[in-house]
């Protein structure tokens, strides 16, 4: 099979693989997931061969995109630190920054969660203050949480479990990812460690703070779950615990919100595409297929995340002291 001049634009190599496979199989078409015939004998595929028809096109498709690096050198500051300042200034004028600034008045309407702070501070009061800092810094969360609350009330049963609940958990994931590692990224962890209460209970403090922020998105969906299907409160609660425990553990250990975000969103993608077919993926009882054993397994995983967070934080403090 010779695709002609298109060979030189086969940057991903899919045309090369398809051409070799069709020639070897002596078939006119190629598909994935076709019917399986167990009566046919075993077929041994000898692998791909770069013959003279494909050699020059493969080299050409490799070299052709290289001039794009000239654009990248100019466009991305990672290649030129001198362009960082200009990128930051443009970011401050971006539509997202303008929208966030427009939401600032909403954040000012938040009740002063730490207004009743006792003379002797507690982890609860510290967690409330930390959650309020998160919402004040990103007031767009309040708008999105209000939208989820309206969608929860308006969606039919199937649309709620298959649509609103997964989106609510994804939104909570994005909101809490930065909470456990904010001080380390800002370089203020030393100040936190000077407060005995927070230094000793750092992991529990961050767990409470992430739980409060997550409940901003999940409280209304949880209320509907309780009213419509009270038995689902246990797997739902375990799902919330798993999310906040994973965010706390991965944030404390790695010092970056990206680790938890990537791990959870990959799992979330598999979960939503599975659509409840596999009970093992129904970590929060979205689809009502989670068995008690599955729920207990996720509760154990959440506890393991917290243990790892405590041990990892202790090792970090010992190493830095």
In a domain, 222, yes or no: yes
* Domain range for 17: 4-66
Whether 141 and 229 map to the same domain: the answer is yes
Whether 28 and 161 map to the same domain: the answer is no
Whether 55 and 174 map to the same domain: the answer is no
In a domain, 82, yes or no: no
Task: Give pLDDT, residue 206.
Answer: 92
In a domain, 190, yes or no: yes
Triad 133, 136, 141: Cα angle to 5°: 110
pLDDT along the chain (321 residues), means of 10: 72 80 77 73 79 82 85 66 50 56 58 49 82 82 87 83 87 91 81 77 91 91 84 89 94 91 91 86 86 93 94 85 68
Whether 142 and 213 map to the same domain: the answer is yes
Full 3-state SS string of the chain: CCCHHHHHHCCCCHHHHHHHHHHHHCCCCCCCCCCCCCCCCCCCCCCCCCCHHHHHHHHHHHHCCCCHHHHHHHHCHHHCHHHHHHHHHHHHCCHHHHHHHHCHHHHHCCCCCCCCCCCCCCHHHHHHHHHHHHHHHCCHHHHHHHHHHHHHHHCCHHHHHHHHHHHHHHHHHHHHCCCCCHHHHHCCHHHHHCCHHHHHCHHHHHHHHHHHHHHHHHHHHHHHHHHHCHHHHHHHHHHHHHHHHHHHHHHHHHCCHHHHHHHHHHHHHHHHHHCCCCHHHCCCCCCCCCCHHHHHHHHHHHHHHHHHHHHHHHHHHHHHC
Total domain count, the chain: 2
In a domain, 81, yes or no: no
Task: Give pLDDT, residue 114.
Answer: 45
pLDDT in tens, 114-169: 444 454 568 888 888 888 888 887 778 888 888 888 998 888 877 787 788 889 99
Give the domain-ending residue among 17, 44, 66: 66
Whether 169 and 296 map to the same domain: the answer is yes
In a domain, 85, yes or no: no
Whether 219 and 285 map to the same domain: the answer is yes
Whether 60 and 114 map to the same domain: the answer is no
In a domain, 89, yes or no: no
Give the domain-ending residue among 20, 45, 66: 66
Whether 170 and 267 map to the same domain: the answer is yes
In a domain, 19, yes or no: yes
Give the pair of three-digit tokens for residue 109. 């309407």
Task: Please tell me the distance from the alpha carbon of residue 55 to that of residue 62, in angstroms, as a whole number.
Answer: 11
In a domain, 98, yes or no: no
Whether 281 and 212 map to the same domain: the answer is yes
Non-local CB neighbours of 73 within 8 Å, separated by 6+ positions: 79, 80
Whether 20 and 145 map to the same domain: the answer is no
């Amino acid at each position: 099979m010779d695709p002609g001049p298109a060979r030189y634009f086969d940057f991903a190599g899919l045309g090369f693989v398809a051409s070799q496979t069709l020639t070897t199989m002596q078939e006119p078409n190629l598909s994935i997931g076709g019917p399986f015939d167990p009566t046919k004998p075993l077929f041994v595929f000898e692998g791909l061969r770069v013959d003279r028809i494909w050699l020059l096109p493969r080299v050409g498709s490799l070299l052709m995109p290289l001039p794009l690096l000239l654009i990248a050198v100019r466009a991305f500051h990672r290649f030129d630190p001198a362009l960082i300042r200009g990128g930051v200034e443009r970011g401050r004028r971006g539509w997202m920054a303008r929208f966030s600034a427009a939401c600032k008045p909403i954040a000012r309407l938040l009740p002063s969660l730490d207004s009743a702070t006792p003379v002797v501070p507690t982890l609860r009061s510290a967690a409330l203050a930390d959650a309020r800092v998160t919402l004040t810094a990103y007031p767009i969360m309040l708008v999105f949480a209000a939208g989820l609350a309206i969608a929860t009330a308006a969606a039919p049963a199937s649309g709620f479990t298959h649509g609103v609940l997964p989106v609510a958990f994804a939104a909570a994931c994005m909101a809490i990812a930065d909470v456990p590692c904010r001080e380390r990224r800002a370089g203020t962890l030393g100040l936190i460690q000077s407060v005995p209460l927070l230094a000793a209970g750092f992991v529990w403090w961050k767990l409470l703070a992430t739980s409060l922020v997550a409940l901003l998105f999940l409280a209304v969906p949880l209320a509907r779950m309780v009213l419509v299907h009270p038995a689902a409160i246990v797997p739902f609660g375990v799902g919330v615990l798993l999310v906040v425990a994973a965010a706390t553990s991965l944030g404390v250990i790695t010092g970056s919100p990206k680790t938890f975000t990537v791990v959870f969103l990959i799992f979330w993608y598999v979960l939503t595409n599975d659509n409840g077919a596999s009970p093992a993926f129904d970590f929060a009882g979205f689809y009502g297929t989670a068995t008690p054993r599955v729920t207990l397994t996720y509760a154990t995983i959440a506890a393991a995340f917290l243990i790892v967070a405590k041990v990892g934080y202790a090792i970090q403090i010992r190493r830095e002291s």
